[in-house]
Amino acid sequence: MKKIIAVDGPAGAGKSTVSKIVAARLGYTYIDTGAMYRAVALKCNEELGIRNEELTEELIVKVASDIDIRLDEAARVFLDGREVTKEIRTPEVSRGASDVAKVGFVRKKLTELQRAMAAQGSVIMDGRDIGTQVLPNADLKIFLTASVEERARRRFEELKSKGFAADFAQIQKEISLRDKQDSEREIAPLAKAEDAVLLDTTHLTIEQVVEEILRLAQA
């Protein structure tokens, strides 16, 4: 059985949905690294009270040097001791997360935290650079992808179901922008590890993707 599973891919490919189910079926811990970048972005927004466009690297480093981020067994997210699981899911925080993720200081700090969290084994961790940077020795690496249209549709449905106002065209634009920013940044860009298994989920159901990962985990 594969003890450490890394799942990477662009926004909306289904990483967290699928990883949570796989974790539950295997009795593994699920670690959502995107939530950690989101928590940094939320703290920047709250502390500085400025718009994303005005965030400079210097300000981001200042906020991130004194931050406490924790994830519990139920994948709840805590920022400086306060639960922020829901607050980090807004479109504004999504944009901010992609910005703070470009900063080397933030990446180094979160990468260390993520490695420490994975050290006990029996984990499935999802993000953008898990197979390439955070856990290059993972026992199984998955790269999940889907078309931009399909990913925008999923995000649209997700936001609607959570009661947020959603505009499909706007979401598609934002996802494309985040794809570009996450894939083109200098440090640890979104990339498929050479030894990762590529799974295109555009035409697959959640259950089909879960089954495939479980099969690979048991192989």
**CB of 136 vs ligand DC, minimal distance in Å:** 13
Closer by beta carbon to ligand DC, 160 or else 218: 160
- Here the tokens at position 78 are 């805590």
The reply to whether 38 sits near ligand DC by the rule CB under 6 A is yes
Closer by beta carbon to ligand DC, 2 or else 129: 129
The reply to whether 175 sits near ligand DC by the rule CB under 6 A is no
Interface positions, 88-147, toward ligand DC (CB under 6 A): 97-98, 101, 127-130
Closer by beta carbon to ligand DC, 2 or else 95: 95
Closer by beta carbon to ligand DC, 91 or else 197: 91
Which residue, among 195, 189, 219, has the nearest Cα to 9 in the 3D structure? 189
Closer by beta carbon to ligand DC, 1 or else 149: 149
User: With contacts defined by CB under 6 A, how many residues of the chain interact with ligand DC?
Assistant: 14
Dihedral through CA 206, CA 209, CA 215, CA 218, nearest 10? -80
The beta-strand segments (E) located in the chain are: 4-8, 29-32, 69-71, 77-79, 82-83, 123-127, 140-145, 197-200
The reply to whether 201 sits near ligand DC by the rule CB under 6 A is no
The reply to whether 33 sits near ligand DC by the rule CB under 6 A is yes
Q: Residue length, the chain? A: 219
The reply to whether 11 sits near ligand DC by the rule CB under 6 A is yes
Please identify which residue in 151, 154, 155, 178 interacts with ligand DC, judged by CB under 6 A: 178
- The span from the CA of 76 to the CA of 73, in Å, is 7
In the sheet that holds 69-71, the strands lie side by side as 69-71, 77-79, 82-83
Q: Which residues of 5-36 are buried (b: 16+ CB within 10 A; e: fewer)?
A: bbbbbbbbbbbbbbbbbbbeebebbbbbbbbb
Residues at the site binding ligand DC, with contacts judged by CB under 6 A:
11, 33-34, 37-38, 97-98, 101, 127-130, 178, 182
